[in-house]
């Protein structure tokens, strides 16, 4: 396995992570994502996906018609040492450079939270990171093999990988949280009627944290626009930037630590 083994003491990951991060010199540079419209990347790539997606990149089981994540069964379990181990595999379709990008995306979770992505050994529930036909993930732990798709055709960026992994940990998009109307205006006239469901509010647990314009989970201002005009406008200050995919924000990190009692 190219990653920390599932039966390793997680504290040993530092030296392994350091070795992996040496490969980042071959990967897409972190700062490069600042010059790419990542939200548009996700939505454009996913437009042709055969998966049943809502909000652009959230996978729904075909038997469901609404996002449901009951009780704590949707969250990854904490081990006796206080760390939350999330087993995963990575498809052989990814190059060494791609793997380095994914490694770098996971590094922030490892250094700032109690989440540890570990190579699967025998676990029944695990993430299978694949290059399918888009950038997408289910929300929370689903049970069994759970695909996180990072298409090599535009999804293998640091922030996109973090975005999709954060979905897998149980987080929705920021612009759909229950109190969003106090912080952003949804411009329905700029959204196709067939796409407006992507802006439905969710009955979210906001974990007593403020609305986060800088969240890696926030979509950009023109997401799902039919005319190039803004679909999401921050209020009261419309100039506030949204939709970054550079790295987890401080509040993203805080929420993970609250949700998983790190």
d(CA 32, CA 226): 27
- Going along the chain from its start, the domains and CATH numbers come out as 10-173+251-259 (3.40.390.10)
d(CA 17, CA 12): 9
Band (132; pLDDT cuts 50, 70, 90):
confident
Q: What is the mean pLDDT of residues 228-254?
A: 93
d(CA 34, CA 49): 25
Band (70; pLDDT cuts 50, 70, 90):
low
Q: What is the pLDDT of residue 133?
A: 79
pTM of the entire structure?
0.80
Q: What is the mean pLDDT of residues 84-97?
A: 96
Torsion of CA 214, 111, 17, 244, to 10 degrees: 0
Q: What is the pLDDT of residue 38?
A: 61
**Catalytic annotation, pick one of 51, 123, 164, 230:** 164
Whole-number Cα distances in Å, 164 to 116, 199, 240: 15, 18, 24
Q: Does 175 appear as a known binding residue? A: no
Q: Is the pLDDT of residue 108 over 70?
A: yes
Helices (H) and strands (E) in the chain, counts: 5, 9
Band (81; pLDDT cuts 50, 70, 90):
very high
pLDDT tens figures, 37-69: 566 666 666 565 555 555 555 666 543 433 445
Catalytic (active site) residue 164: yes
* Tokens representing residue 91 in the block: 């498809």
Q: What is the pLDDT of residue 253?
A: 97
Collapsing DSSP to helix, strand or coil, 204 comes out as coil
Collapsing DSSP to helix, strand or coil, 107 comes out as helix
Q: Does 158 appear as a known binding residue? A: no
């Amino acid at each position: 396995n190219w990653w920390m083994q599932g039966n390793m003491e997680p504290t040993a990951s530092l030296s392994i992570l350091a070795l992996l991060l040496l490969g980042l010199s071959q990967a897409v540079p972190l700062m490069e994502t600042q010059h790419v419209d990542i939200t548009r990347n996700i939505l454009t790539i996913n437009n042709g996906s055969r998966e049943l997606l809502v909000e652009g990149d959230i996978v729904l089981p075909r038997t469901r018609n609404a996002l449901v994540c009951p009780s704590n069964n949707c969250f990854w379990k904490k081990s006796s040492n206080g760390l939350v181990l999330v087993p995963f595999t990575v498809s052989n379709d990814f190059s060494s450079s791609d793997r380095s990008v994914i490694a770098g995306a996971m590094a922030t979770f490892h250094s700032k939270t109690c989440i540890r992505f570990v190579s699967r050994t025998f676990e029944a529930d695990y993430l299978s990171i694949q290059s399918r036909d888009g950038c997408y993930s289910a929300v929370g732990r689903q049970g069994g093999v759970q695909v996180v798709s990072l298409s090599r055709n535009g999804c293998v960026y640091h922030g996109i990988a973090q975005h999709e992994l954060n979905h897998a940990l149980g987080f929705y998009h920021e612009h759909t949280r229950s109190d969003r109307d106090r912080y952003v205006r949804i411009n329905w006239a700029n959204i196709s009627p067939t796409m407006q469901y992507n802006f439905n509010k969710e009955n979210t647990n906001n974990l007593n944290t403020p609305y986060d314009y800088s969240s890696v989970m926030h979509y950009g201002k023109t997401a799902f626009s039919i005319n190039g005009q803004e679909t999401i406008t921050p209020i009261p200050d419309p100039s506030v930037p949204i939709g970054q995919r550079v790295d987890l924000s401080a509040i993203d990190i805080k929420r993970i630590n609250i949700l998983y009692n790190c």
